[in-house]
Chains A and B, each alone.
Chain A
Amino acid sequence: MTAIKSKKSAEKALSLEACYATHHRKIFHLGLRYGGGNAAWAEDLTHDVFVKFAEKYDGLETREDVGGWLYRVASNLAISKFRRERSLWGRVATLVRAEPTPTAPAADEAFEQQQLAANALAAMQKLPAKERVVLSMKLLDDKSQTEIAEALGLSEGYVSKLVTRALGRIEAQGWEVGS
């Protein structure tokens, strides 16, 4: 019995390692995207996503589309993380906590000569959590409203409303958002 348990546990560790090796860069990129280029924020999100994967590993029905599962978890965790940071706790914690030094190049350096791109990223950062994530999924990953609704557990109507509101806010910041 113990042998079976330890074999299962070893198998889980191997799967986690393999999954981490395959997907961590993609999740880190999502973190950079949602976090406005903040490498430390992206690192934390990546960490949380894979810890969640480890916790849910036994309950996952299929491991065929792990990438899709991680994408959904990353998007949902990003929304929770934004909310947490905007809460009273988050604001106090941010003041108290010394953020880990971002070891990847800061967004400002990378965008030195691409002011417009940096401004677009900054405009996204001004959006409320859900709108930011929904708009990223729509504009950058070409997800349909149905797919977004499914991934975030929202109704299609609500997703449509979030997209419209987000685009309105972006336009109000002086951008052309197209049709």
Chain B
Amino acid sequence: MKDHEAQAERPDFIAALRQADDVLVAQPMSPEMQVRLRNRVLARSHGTGARTRGLVLSGFAVAAAVAALVFATRTFYEQAPVEASETVLAESAGFAVRSQSGDLRLETTPTGELNVTQGSAELRSEATGITVANIGEVRLQSEARGVRLTRGKARFSVDKRSPKEGPVHVSVSHGRIEILGTQFTVEQGDGRGSVQLHKGAIRFVANDGTAEGLEPGETLRWPRPVQPKSEELVSEVTQADEPQTAERADVPVVVPKPHEQPIEDEETGRQSVLAELAQLRSRGKYEKAAKLLQAELESARLPERARDQLSYELGTILSTHTREPTKACAHWKQHLRRHGSGRYVTEAQNAMQRLHCQGETE
């Protein structure tokens, strides 16, 4: 009897492991890691010493030799990929190239701007501790207390700064973004742009002096999208998304929650939702996570690929965490109907088997 009681108190390993795995699935790769890993993979695959690794790893040498080899290997990885000419160009504009793709092309202008015209790179402004990873073509300029993004889209990460050091900033057409240590993405087009905060906290100070704080997951756009002129703009901004206030057209506006705004960039939008989802899951707020996903899935313009993934996420929460087997079965059934050729068909079928949904599916 006592044995039975003792066994009943033991935690369920499989459920706990699946819960851990759910968190790991939702754990995004940082922008720095994405750039670094892509560069590592593509550099190695193009033949830069792909076979040396096996030799290095198979060598059992004395500890001193091992230390020297490991150190030498690290030094090789850190220095090898950087093209000298691109490094010089970047340095002349106040940036250090931390990593780059093989096809990176940089240009400098007489006014001191650095243009990334091709490839991808992590550029670091040592003076301010700002690291920029470009997303496509960008135009940057180093400033005394920050970086100016003149054109293009880039992810920024900033070393943690003490309040004594004061904030650094990223300048854009309609103001500046003040930072103490965080990660965010900025896009600057012709007279308009946006900043999306991934983690930490930032403050947008508009050119007219008005300031606006952002929380993780929030997006701020400038200027306020009042009258869409082209079809492209119409597809991005709908009546429902526009705040019904009498703000000036040239003042930036905060778009509060990512799940209430259209996903204009499939990958960015989905990653943002997944990041918020990971936070909710790590706090055990599964019902809120399910509502977030439900709201996302009701969005008419959600791309099919993203819808497939988010639907799968919702299914796992309903199956594993909120303990609603009937609802979970109905969801998986709907998932298979809508995404019969999607990426999670096997997972959905397995989940239905675990939940004994067969009766309901027929």
Contacts and interface: CB of A to CB of B under 8 A. Distances in A.
Interface string A138-172: 01101000000000000000000000000000100
Contacts of A53: 45
Nearest to B17: A120
A97 B46 CA distance: 26
A96 interface: yes
Nearest to A21: B38
Nearest to A138: B14
Contacts of A117: 16-17, 19-20, 23
B337 interface: no
Interface in B311-362: 350
Interface string A9-42: 0000100110010001100110011000101000
B45 A121 contact: no
Interface in B252-279: 278
Contact of A29 (B10, B24, B38, B63): B24
Contacts, number: 143
Contact of A176 (B7, B59, B70): B7
Contacts of A120: 11, 13, 16-17, 19-20
A110 B57 contact: no
B29 A25 contact: yes
B45 A51 contact: yes
A3 B10 CA distance: 66
A177 B13 contact: yes
A44 B42 CA distance: 14
B25 interface: yes
A124 B14 CA distance: 11
B207 interface: no
A142 B344 CA distance: 13
Nearest to B278: A110
Contacts of A55: 50
B30 interface: yes
B27 interface: yes
B28 A104 contact: yes
Interface of B: 7, 10-14, 16-21, 23-25, 27-30, 32-33, 36-38, 40-42, 44-46, 50, 57, 59-60, 63, 66-67, 70-71, 74, 278, 282-284, 350
Interface of A: 13, 16-17, 20, 24-25, 28-29, 32-33, 37, 39, 43, 46-47, 50-51, 53-55, 84, 88-89, 92-93, 96-98, 103-105, 107, 109-114, 116-121, 123-124, 139-140, 142, 170, 174-178
Given A20-B38, A39-B27, A105-B27, 17 more contacts: A37-B20, A39-B30, A46-B41, A50-B45, A54-B44, A54-B50, A84-B57, A89-B60, A89-B66, A92-B66, A114-B20, A116-B16, A121-B17, A140-B21, A175-B12, A175-B16, A176-B10
